[in-house]
């Protein structure tokens, strides 16, 4: 295997860490020194070698530990994975997409052997080997969506298309930025985006929905989203706010570099072949401020973005209480020099 997987935790003692290589490949979300909501969708058709955009489903050093954390969350709250009855076929579509993608993109880690509807799946990092019949749920230990997303980094929503809208009718959500699948299940595109400030009056979601309703099979797209998190916790759900909410009040000028994290979501969208549903993987990446500023371009740019961000966006992103401390810390790393275009390090 070419990836060395970390042994780390995303709760309790928080031993999560990024290697130097992981820092450099972090999907920094700002391509300029300011930020405002936009559709910002581009084709998901590969990307720079070694970046999170290169493969269809990125697998990195955090893979095994993230899957262990998901199992902990599901043991505590099984409702983090739900699928309405009409979404079973979409679950099989998504299982096929992930298995074929991983086996082709990471042949040293995953294998998929198919003989008609008799499939044989091997996941070497997790020590899983499963023979099953495609489209026969009785041959898997759980439903197809749950089965494959217990082995796939990121959250995953399946969206049913009907009545000129998209409906969140299935998902595995254990590393979300303060939203609840149990609350949003069965909602349409505008309903689950209702809390987002500014974007509705700017027409962002109307344009996004129009685009997604016409998404074609074989032409996936991607975008980056971001927020801020205190400590490298994956499960920042409303259900567990009592665990992570108070941590926001633990930031000091001395600890902000190590405890404040930029949380970035690589969101991809895929038209599924049999069900015509849309798969919506939401892959979470975490980087502490002290690691982030080791890339000078990012330190300068993040300071300028957060310093000038409208107050309502800072509140929505969940870091308004710590914004002065964060901006003061980042100011030390902003020498006023221009930054180069794009998101990648110089």
Contacts of 229 (CB under 8 A, 6+ apart): 177, 236, 244, 260, 261, 263, 286, 318
Q: What is the pLDDT of residue 204?
A: 77
Active-site option among 24, 114, 223, 307 = 223
Closest alpha carbon to 322 in 245, 236, 242 = 245
From the list 170, 152, 161, the residue with the least C-alpha distance to 189 is: 161
What is the rounded distance in angstroms from the CA atom of residue 28 to the CA atom of residue 37? 16
Virtual torsion, Cα 311, 175, 28, 319, nearest 10 deg: 20
The per-residue pLDDT for 202 is 65
Least Cα distance to 241 among 176, 196, 194, 197 occurs for 176
- Residue pair 112/119 in contact by the 8 Å Cβ criterion: yes
Share of the chain above pLDDT 90, in %: 88
Alpha helices in the chain (DSSP H): 20-24, 63-76, 88-105, 144-149, 181-184, 189-192, 204-213, 241-244, 256-259, 289-292, 296-308, 311-316, 323-331
User: How far, in Å, CA of 128 to CA of 53, rounded?
Assistant: 26
Q: CB-based burial of residue 210 (10 Å sphere; 0-12 exposed, 13-18 middle, 19+ buried)?
A: exposed
C-alpha torsion sign, points 169, 170, 175, 180? positive
Q: Sketch the domain layout of the chain as residue ranges.
A: 20-331
Give the 3-state secondary structure percentages of the chain, helix then strand then coil, rounded to 5: 35, 20, 45
Q: For residue 259, count other CB atoms closer than 10 A to its CB.
A: 21
The DSSP letter of residue 240 is: G
Residue 152 neighbours by CB under 8 Å, 6+ apart? 57, 98, 281
User: Phi and psi dihedrals of 327, rounded to 5?
Assistant: -65, -40
* Residue 128: count of CB within 10 angstroms of its CB: 14
pTM listed for this prediction: 0.95
Each of the 346 residues of the chain gets a pLDDT tens digit; together they read 589 999 999 999 999 999 999 999 999 999 999 998 777 899 999 999 999 999 999 999 999 999 999 999 999 999 999 999 999 999 999 999 999 999 999 999 999 999 999 999 999 999 999 999 999 999 999 999 999 999 999 999 999 999 999 999 999 999 988 888 999 999 999 888 876 766 556 677 888 899 999 999 999 999 999 999 999 999 999 999 999 999 999 999 999 999 999 999 999 999 999 999 999 999 999 999 999 999 999 999 999 999 999 998 999 888 999 999 999 999 999 999 999 999 999 9
Please report the pLDDT score of residue 173 as a whole number: 96
Q: In what helix (H) or strand (E) does residue 10 lie, and over which residues does it extend?
A: none
Residue appearing with tokens 């295997």: 1
pLDDT digits 0-9 by tens, 16-54 = 999 999 999 999 999 999 998 777 899 999 999 999 999
β-partners of residue 281 are 156
187-203 as b/e: b if 16+ CB within 10 A: bbbeebbeeeeebeeee
Question: How many Å apart are CA 241 and CA 245, to the nearest integer?
Answer: 5
- 223 catalytic residue (yes or no): yes
């Amino acid at each position: 295997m070419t990836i060395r997987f970390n042994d780390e935790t995303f709760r309790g003692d928080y031993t999560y860490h990024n290697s130097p290589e992981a820092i450099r490949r972090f999907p920094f979300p700002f391509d300029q020194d300011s930020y405002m909501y936009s559709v910002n969708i581009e084709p998901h058709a590969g990307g720079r070698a070694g970046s999170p955009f290169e493969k269809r489903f990125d697998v990195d050093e955090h893979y095994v530990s993230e899957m262990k954390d998901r199992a902990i969350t599901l043991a505590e709250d099984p409702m983090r994975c739900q699928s309405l009855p009409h979404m079973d076929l979409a679950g099989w579509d998504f299982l096929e997409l992930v298995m074929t993608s991983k086996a082709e993109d990471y042949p040293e880690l995953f294998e998929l052997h198919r003989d008609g509807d008799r499939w044989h799946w091997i996941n070497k990092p997790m020590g899983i080997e499963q023979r099953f019949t495609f489209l026969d749920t009785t041959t898997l230990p759980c439903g197809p969506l749950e089965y494959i997303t217990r082995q796939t980094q990121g959250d995953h929503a399946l969206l049913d298309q009907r009545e000129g809208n998209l409906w969140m009718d299935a998902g595995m959500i254990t590393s979300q930025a303060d939203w609840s699948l149990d609350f949003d299940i069965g909602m349409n595109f505008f309903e689950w985006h209702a809390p987002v400030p500014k974007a509705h009056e700017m027409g962002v979601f109307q344009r996004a929905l129009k685009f997604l309703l016409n998404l074609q099979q074989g032409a996936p797209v991607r975008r980056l989203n971001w927020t801020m998190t205190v400590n490298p916790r994956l499960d920042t759900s409303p259900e567990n706010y009592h665990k992570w909410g108070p941590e926001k009040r633990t930031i000091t000028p001395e600890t902000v570099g190590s405890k404040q994290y930029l949380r970035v979501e690589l969101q991809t969208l895929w038209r599924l072949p049999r069900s015509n549903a849309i798969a919506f993987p939401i892959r979470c990446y975490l980087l502490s401020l002290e690691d982030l500023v080791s890339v000078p371009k990012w330190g300068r740019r993040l300071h300028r973005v957060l310093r000038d961000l409208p107050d309502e966006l800072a509140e929505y992103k969940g870091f308004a209480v710590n914004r002065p401390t964060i901006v003061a810390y980042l100011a030390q790393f902003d020498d006023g020099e221009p930054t180069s275009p794009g998101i990648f390090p110089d």
